[in-house]
Amino acid sequence: MESQTAELSPFARRAMLALWPAFLIAGVQAALVFVVVDPGDLHGFGSAARLDWPVQAVYSVTFLIFWFTTSIATALAQWLLSAPGLDARALAFRGSPAR
């Protein structure tokens, strides 16, 4: 049986290179935040009243915010690395020995 794989466009490839690691890191960030923050004790912005959301909604919205911000950071890094004239020598640490 032959393995059939679809070739991704360059945009789809770059999107996956940004979204997949960001997804994993967002999960770690959300877990670390909710180790110390109780979703039931959250308050609205500038309000003394508690945030009246189900706990699952707080977890989901927080995860999506972390995923969005980490994806933007990863995409920005990819964009900066694709600048014309940038090569591996330009990225090398100045104190590292030459290869």
What is this structure's pTM?
0.73
For 30, 55, 58, 62, 65, the CA distances from 37, given in Å and listed in that order, are: 10, 12, 11, 12, 16
Task: Check residue 98 and give its pLDDT.
Answer: 57
3-state secondary structure of 90: helix
Q: Give the tens place of pLDDT for each residue, 3-42.
A: 566 788 888 888 898 999 999 999 999 999 999 998 888 8
For 33, 54, 55, 57, 60, the CA distances from 75, given in Å and listed in that order, are: 23, 32, 30, 27, 22
Q: Give the tens place of pLDDT for each residue, 37-89.
A: 988 888 777 777 777 889 999 999 999 999 999 999 999 988 888 877 666 66
d(CA 38, CA 51): 12
